[in-house]
Amino acid sequence: MLAIAINILWFLVGLIILAGIIYLAIWVIESFVTPIPERVKQGVWVIVLLIALIMLITALTTGGIGGVRPPFLSK
């Protein structure tokens, strides 16, 4: 049970980092290149949401995110 809680916390950390990178990329493109249509931004966030859902299901069913486990949980 503790391993599941730790996997969910790792998932949340990864999700925050992924969302930050995507947000930063969108901001840079809009600031320095060209405005991005709202529908395209919504599509990008839907794809990020689907990736997050896959990562969460993987973390809950296999015990790790993408087959990678934190070193202190390795057996």
Looking at residue 46, its pLDDT comes to: 94
Q: Coil, strand or helix: which one is 74?
A: coil
Taken in order 54, 47, 73, 60, the sign of the CA dihedral is negative
Q: For residues 34 and 72, give the distance between their C-alpha atoms in angstroms, rounded to a whole number.
A: 45
Looking at residue 68, its pLDDT comes to: 52
Taken in order 21, 50, 52, 69, the sign of the CA dihedral is negative
Q: What is the token pair recorded at 41?
A: 């931004």
Structural domain tally of the chain?
1
Residue 74 counted as domain residue: no
Q: What is the token pair recorded at 64?
A: 């790790």
Residue 73 counted as domain residue: no
Average pLDDT over residues 18-27: 92
Residue 16 counted as domain residue: yes
**Residue 11 is part of which domain span?**
2-65
Residue 51 counted as domain residue: yes
Question: Is the pLDDT confidence value at 64 over 60?
Answer: no
Residue 19 counted as domain residue: yes
Residue 43 counted as domain residue: yes
Cβ-defined contacts of 35-39 (< 8 Å, 24+):
none
Question: Is the pLDDT confidence value at 65 over 80?
Answer: no
Residue 71 counted as domain residue: no
Looking at residue 69, its pLDDT comes to: 53
Percent of the chain scoring above 90 in pLDDT: 35
Residue 45 counted as domain residue: yes
Looking at residue 47, its pLDDT comes to: 92
